[in-house]
Amino acid sequence: MSELLLDVKDVVVEYPIKGFRKAPFKALKGVSLDIRAGETVGLVGESGSGKTTLGRAVLGLAPVTGGSILYKGADIAHLGRRERRALSSEIQVVFQDPYTSLNPSLTIEQILVEPLTVKNIAAKEASRRVLSLLDQVGLPQSAADRLPREFSGGQRQRIAIARALALEPRLIVCDEPVSALDLSTQARVMDLFKEIQERTGVAYLFVSHDLAVVRNLSHRVAVMYHGEIVEWGDGDQVTARPEHPYTQRLFLAAPVPDPVRQEQRRADRERLLAEQGQQAGAL
Protein backbone atom coordinates (compact mmCIF):
# COMPACT_ATOMS: atom_id res chain seq x y z
CA MET A 1 0.00 0.00 0.00
CA SER A 2 1.31 3.47 -0.81
CA GLU A 3 2.58 5.92 1.78
CA LEU A 4 0.08 7.70 4.06
CA LEU A 5 0.40 11.41 3.27
CA LEU A 6 -2.43 13.14 5.04
CA ASP A 7 -4.26 11.90 8.12
CA VAL A 8 -7.13 14.11 9.25
CA LYS A 9 -8.42 12.98 12.65
CA ASP A 10 -11.56 14.25 14.40
CA VAL A 11 -11.01 17.78 13.14
CA VAL A 12 -13.21 20.51 14.53
CA VAL A 13 -13.34 23.98 12.96
CA GLU A 14 -15.22 26.78 14.69
CA TYR A 15 -15.76 30.15 13.05
CA PRO A 16 -16.19 33.02 15.48
CA ILE A 17 -19.55 34.74 15.20
CA LYS A 18 -19.71 38.51 15.64
CA GLY A 19 -21.80 39.67 18.57
CA PHE A 20 -21.64 39.67 22.32
CA ARG A 21 -21.28 36.16 23.79
CA LYS A 22 -22.40 34.46 20.60
CA ALA A 23 -21.21 30.85 20.45
CA PRO A 24 -18.88 30.12 17.52
CA PHE A 25 -20.28 28.27 14.51
CA LYS A 26 -19.02 24.70 14.23
CA ALA A 27 -18.36 24.20 10.50
CA LEU A 28 -16.54 20.87 11.02
CA LYS A 29 -17.74 18.62 13.83
CA GLY A 30 -15.02 15.99 14.13
CA VAL A 31 -14.05 15.05 10.58
CA SER A 32 -11.65 12.21 9.75
CA LEU A 33 -10.22 11.05 6.44
CA ASP A 34 -6.84 10.14 5.01
CA ILE A 35 -5.05 10.45 1.68
CA ARG A 36 -2.33 8.17 0.39
CA ALA A 37 0.43 9.07 -2.05
CA GLY A 38 -0.82 9.17 -5.64
CA GLU A 39 -4.46 8.97 -4.61
CA THR A 40 -7.43 11.22 -5.38
CA VAL A 41 -9.90 11.68 -2.56
CA GLY A 42 -13.08 13.39 -3.71
CA LEU A 43 -14.96 15.54 -1.22
CA VAL A 44 -18.60 16.11 -2.13
CA GLY A 45 -21.56 17.64 -0.38
CA GLU A 46 -24.14 20.35 -0.83
CA SER A 47 -23.34 24.01 -0.48
CA GLY A 48 -22.43 24.86 3.12
CA SER A 49 -21.65 21.27 4.17
CA GLY A 50 -18.03 22.12 5.02
CA LYS A 51 -15.99 20.94 2.00
CA THR A 52 -14.08 24.16 1.48
CA THR A 53 -13.55 24.49 5.23
CA LEU A 54 -11.82 21.10 5.29
CA GLY A 55 -9.60 22.15 2.37
CA ARG A 56 -8.86 25.43 4.17
CA ALA A 57 -7.97 23.52 7.35
CA VAL A 58 -5.44 21.41 5.43
CA LEU A 59 -3.95 24.62 4.01
CA GLY A 60 -3.72 26.20 7.46
CA LEU A 61 -6.40 28.80 6.73
CA ALA A 62 -9.27 27.68 8.95
CA PRO A 63 -9.46 27.95 12.77
CA VAL A 64 -8.93 24.33 13.85
CA THR A 65 -10.08 23.96 17.47
CA GLY A 66 -9.98 20.19 17.83
CA GLY A 67 -8.42 17.04 16.40
CA SER A 68 -5.25 16.84 14.33
CA ILE A 69 -4.11 17.11 10.72
CA LEU A 70 -1.03 14.98 10.23
CA TYR A 71 1.10 15.35 7.10
CA LYS A 72 3.64 12.52 6.88
CA GLY A 73 3.09 12.04 10.61
CA ALA A 74 3.63 15.64 11.73
CA ASP A 75 0.75 17.86 12.88
CA ILE A 76 0.30 20.79 10.49
CA ALA A 77 -2.91 22.23 11.93
CA HIS A 78 -1.23 25.15 13.70
CA LEU A 79 1.97 25.99 11.85
CA GLY A 80 3.64 29.40 11.89
CA ARG A 81 4.11 31.42 8.72
CA ARG A 82 7.65 30.22 8.02
CA GLU A 83 6.79 26.53 8.49
CA ARG A 84 3.74 26.95 6.24
CA ARG A 85 5.88 28.50 3.55
CA ALA A 86 8.29 25.58 3.76
CA LEU A 87 5.33 23.20 3.44
CA SER A 88 4.28 24.87 0.17
CA SER A 89 6.73 22.64 -1.67
CA GLU A 90 4.73 19.65 -0.38
CA ILE A 91 1.12 20.89 -0.41
CA GLN A 92 -0.28 23.19 -3.07
CA VAL A 93 -3.70 24.48 -4.08
CA VAL A 94 -5.72 25.14 -7.23
CA PHE A 95 -8.68 27.48 -6.71
CA GLN A 96 -12.02 27.59 -8.41
CA ASP A 97 -11.86 30.80 -10.36
CA PRO A 98 -9.11 31.07 -12.96
CA TYR A 99 -10.11 34.68 -13.67
CA THR A 100 -9.11 35.99 -10.25
CA SER A 101 -6.36 33.63 -9.13
CA LEU A 102 -3.64 34.92 -11.49
CA ASN A 103 -1.99 38.31 -11.07
CA PRO A 104 -3.07 40.30 -14.17
CA SER A 105 0.06 42.43 -14.30
CA LEU A 106 2.58 39.56 -14.38
CA THR A 107 3.57 37.53 -17.40
CA ILE A 108 2.96 33.79 -17.27
CA GLU A 109 6.71 33.28 -16.85
CA GLN A 110 6.76 35.61 -13.83
CA ILE A 111 3.73 33.83 -12.34
CA LEU A 112 5.39 30.43 -12.70
CA VAL A 113 8.81 31.57 -11.49
CA GLU A 114 7.46 33.05 -8.23
CA PRO A 115 6.86 29.77 -6.37
CA LEU A 116 10.38 28.66 -7.28
CA THR A 117 11.81 31.45 -5.15
CA VAL A 118 10.83 29.34 -2.09
CA LYS A 119 13.62 26.99 -3.12
CA ASN A 120 16.09 29.68 -4.23
CA ILE A 121 16.31 28.26 -7.73
CA ALA A 122 18.67 30.22 -10.02
CA ALA A 123 17.13 32.35 -12.80
CA LYS A 124 18.39 30.25 -15.71
CA GLU A 125 17.16 27.00 -14.22
CA ALA A 126 13.85 28.69 -13.30
CA SER A 127 13.29 29.75 -16.94
CA ARG A 128 14.01 26.22 -18.09
CA ARG A 129 11.47 24.89 -15.59
CA VAL A 130 8.82 27.36 -16.76
CA LEU A 131 9.02 25.95 -20.29
CA SER A 132 8.77 22.42 -18.93
CA LEU A 133 5.72 23.38 -16.79
CA LEU A 134 3.97 24.92 -19.81
CA ASP A 135 4.65 21.75 -21.72
CA GLN A 136 3.26 19.62 -18.89
CA VAL A 137 -0.07 21.46 -18.96
CA GLY A 138 -0.34 21.52 -22.75
CA LEU A 139 0.45 25.20 -23.38
CA PRO A 140 2.94 26.46 -25.99
CA GLN A 141 6.28 28.00 -24.96
CA SER A 142 5.12 31.30 -26.46
CA ALA A 143 2.66 31.59 -23.53
CA ALA A 144 5.57 32.51 -21.24
CA ASP A 145 5.72 36.16 -22.36
CA ARG A 146 2.00 36.80 -22.37
CA LEU A 147 -0.40 38.13 -19.73
CA PRO A 148 -3.28 36.20 -18.10
CA ARG A 149 -5.95 38.27 -19.88
CA GLU A 150 -4.80 36.84 -23.21
CA PHE A 151 -5.99 33.36 -22.17
CA SER A 152 -9.37 31.63 -21.94
CA GLY A 153 -10.74 30.25 -18.64
CA GLY A 154 -9.54 26.72 -19.41
CA GLN A 155 -6.08 27.97 -20.39
CA ARG A 156 -5.88 30.07 -17.22
CA GLN A 157 -6.76 27.04 -15.16
CA ARG A 158 -3.90 25.20 -16.89
CA ILE A 159 -1.59 28.05 -15.85
CA ALA A 160 -2.90 27.79 -12.25
CA ILE A 161 -2.21 24.05 -12.35
CA ALA A 162 1.29 24.68 -13.72
CA ARG A 163 1.92 27.10 -10.85
CA ALA A 164 0.74 24.48 -8.35
CA LEU A 165 3.08 21.93 -9.95
CA ALA A 166 6.13 24.21 -9.96
CA LEU A 167 7.48 22.93 -6.65
CA GLU A 168 6.63 19.29 -7.43
CA PRO A 169 4.19 18.94 -4.50
CA ARG A 170 2.99 15.58 -3.17
CA LEU A 171 -0.55 16.83 -2.51
CA ILE A 172 -2.75 19.41 -4.23
CA VAL A 173 -5.95 20.72 -2.66
CA CYS A 174 -8.25 21.35 -5.63
CA ASP A 175 -11.20 23.51 -4.58
CA GLU A 176 -13.88 23.25 -7.28
CA PRO A 177 -11.18 23.65 -9.94
CA VAL A 178 -13.44 22.96 -12.91
CA SER A 179 -16.78 24.38 -11.82
CA ALA A 180 -16.17 27.78 -13.43
CA LEU A 181 -15.48 26.15 -16.82
CA ASP A 182 -17.85 25.07 -19.57
CA LEU A 183 -18.50 21.34 -19.90
CA SER A 184 -16.08 20.48 -22.71
CA THR A 185 -13.29 22.51 -21.08
CA GLN A 186 -14.07 20.78 -17.77
CA ALA A 187 -13.52 17.40 -19.40
CA ARG A 188 -10.16 18.44 -20.86
CA VAL A 189 -8.93 19.93 -17.57
CA MET A 190 -10.02 16.80 -15.70
CA ASP A 191 -8.08 14.68 -18.19
CA LEU A 192 -5.08 16.90 -17.47
CA PHE A 193 -5.43 16.31 -13.70
CA LYS A 194 -5.49 12.57 -14.33
CA GLU A 195 -2.58 12.59 -16.72
CA ILE A 196 -0.46 14.66 -14.28
CA GLN A 197 -1.24 12.22 -11.48
CA GLU A 198 -0.26 9.22 -13.59
CA ARG A 199 3.01 10.89 -14.51
CA THR A 200 4.02 12.48 -11.19
CA GLY A 201 2.20 10.44 -8.52
CA VAL A 202 0.75 13.59 -6.93
CA ALA A 203 -2.28 13.13 -4.65
CA TYR A 204 -5.40 15.30 -4.82
CA LEU A 205 -7.98 16.36 -2.27
CA PHE A 206 -10.63 17.18 -4.85
CA VAL A 207 -13.47 19.35 -3.55
CA SER A 208 -16.60 19.51 -5.68
CA HIS A 209 -20.34 19.87 -5.31
CA ASP A 210 -20.63 17.83 -8.52
CA LEU A 211 -20.78 14.07 -8.03
CA ALA A 212 -20.14 13.42 -11.72
CA VAL A 213 -16.81 15.24 -11.57
CA VAL A 214 -15.79 13.47 -8.39
CA ARG A 215 -16.85 10.06 -9.64
CA ASN A 216 -14.73 10.46 -12.75
CA LEU A 217 -11.56 11.28 -10.86
CA SER A 218 -11.61 9.84 -7.34
CA HIS A 219 -10.24 6.63 -5.91
CA ARG A 220 -12.09 7.26 -2.65
CA VAL A 221 -14.93 9.63 -1.91
CA ALA A 222 -16.07 11.37 1.27
CA VAL A 223 -19.56 12.82 1.45
CA MET A 224 -20.08 15.76 3.79
CA TYR A 225 -23.31 16.86 5.39
CA HIS A 226 -23.67 19.61 7.99
CA GLY A 227 -20.00 19.53 8.96
CA GLU A 228 -19.70 15.75 9.18
CA ILE A 229 -18.64 12.95 6.86
CA VAL A 230 -21.68 10.74 6.41
CA GLU A 231 -20.21 8.34 3.85
CA TRP A 232 -16.59 7.49 3.12
CA GLY A 233 -14.98 4.81 1.05
CA ASP A 234 -14.31 3.36 -2.37
CA GLY A 235 -15.26 5.85 -5.12
CA ASP A 236 -17.33 3.43 -7.22
CA GLN A 237 -19.17 2.14 -4.18
CA VAL A 238 -20.08 5.57 -2.84
CA THR A 239 -21.05 7.12 -6.16
CA ALA A 240 -22.79 4.16 -7.81
CA ARG A 241 -24.37 2.54 -4.76
CA PRO A 242 -24.61 5.21 -2.07
CA GLU A 243 -25.87 3.89 1.23
CA HIS A 244 -26.67 7.11 3.03
CA PRO A 245 -30.00 8.73 2.07
CA TYR A 246 -28.30 12.11 1.91
CA THR A 247 -25.77 10.85 -0.67
CA GLN A 248 -28.63 9.47 -2.73
CA ARG A 249 -30.34 12.87 -2.65
CA LEU A 250 -27.10 14.67 -3.45
CA PHE A 251 -27.36 13.61 -7.08
CA LEU A 252 -30.16 16.12 -7.37
CA ALA A 253 -28.46 18.96 -5.48
CA ALA A 254 -27.61 22.22 -7.22
CA PRO A 255 -24.94 24.72 -6.11
CA VAL A 256 -26.05 27.87 -4.30
CA PRO A 257 -23.78 30.91 -4.70
CA ASP A 258 -22.90 32.58 -1.41
CA PRO A 259 -21.28 36.04 -1.51
CA VAL A 260 -19.73 35.66 1.97
CA ARG A 261 -17.84 32.57 0.93
CA GLN A 262 -16.85 34.07 -2.43
CA GLU A 263 -15.29 36.87 -0.43
CA GLN A 264 -13.57 34.35 1.84
CA ARG A 265 -12.11 32.52 -1.15
CA ARG A 266 -10.76 35.80 -2.46
CA ALA A 267 -9.13 36.51 0.91
CA ASP A 268 -7.68 32.97 1.03
CA ARG A 269 -6.07 33.38 -2.36
CA GLU A 270 -4.57 36.71 -1.37
CA ARG A 271 -3.14 35.32 1.86
CA LEU A 272 -1.70 32.17 0.31
CA LEU A 273 -0.11 34.03 -2.56
CA ALA A 274 1.36 36.55 -0.12
CA GLU A 275 2.69 33.72 2.04
CA GLN A 276 4.41 32.24 -0.95
CA GLY A 277 6.07 35.55 -1.68
CA GLN A 278 3.72 36.34 -4.55
CA GLN A 279 1.59 39.34 -5.21
CA ALA A 280 -2.16 38.88 -5.15
CA GLY A 281 -4.07 38.52 -8.38
CA ALA A 282 -6.89 40.57 -9.89
CA LEU A 283 -8.94 40.73 -6.75
Ligand X SMILES: Nc1ncnc2c1ncn2[C@@H]1O[C@H](COP(=O)(O)OP(=O)(O)OP(=O)(O)O)[C@@H](O)[C@H]1O
Contact positions vs ligand X (CB under 6 A): 15, 25, 27, 45, 47-53, 209, 258, 261, 264
Strand, helix or coil at 89? coil
H helix intervals, 100-241: 108-113, 123-136, 153-165, 183-200, 211-217, 235-240
Nearest of 77, 68, 70 to residue 30 by alpha carbon = 68
Query: Which residue, 21 or 199, is less far from ligand X as judged by CB?
Result: 21
Query: Which residue, 112 or 224, is less far from ligand X as judged by CB?
Result: 224
Amino acid at 109: E
Query: Which residue, 146 or 226, is less far from ligand X as judged by CB?
Result: 226
Distance CA 97, CA 268 (A): 12
CB of 92 to ligand X, least distance (A): 19
Contact between residue 160 and residue 40 where contact means Cβ atoms under 8 Å apart: no
CB of 119 to ligand X, least distance (A): 31
Distance CA 228, CA 82 (A): 31
Strand, helix or coil at 231? strand
Query: Which residue, 84 or 266, is less far from ligand X as judged by CB?
Result: 266
CB of 264 to ligand X, least distance (A): 5
Distance CA 84, CA 120 (A): 16
Query: Which residue, 14 or 121, is less far from ligand X as judged by CB?
Result: 14
CB of 13 to ligand X, least distance (A): 8
CB of 12 to ligand X, least distance (A): 12
**252 DSSP assignment:** T
Query: Which residue, 29 or 36, is less far from ligand X as judged by CB?
Result: 29
H helix intervals, 3-136: 51-58, 81-87, 108-113, 123-136
Amino acid at 282: A
Query: Which residue, 94 or 165, is less far from ligand X as judged by CB?
Result: 94
Strand pairing category for 228-234 and 220-225: antiparallel
CB of 53 to ligand X, least distance (A): 3
CB of 204 to ligand X, least distance (A): 16
Query: Which residue, 234 or 258, is less far from ligand X as judged by CB?
Result: 258
CB of 241 to ligand X, least distance (A): 23
Amino acid at 88: S
Environment class of residue 125 by beta-carbon count within 10 Å: exposed (0-12), middle (13-18) or buried (19+)?
exposed
Distance CA 265, CA 104 (A): 18
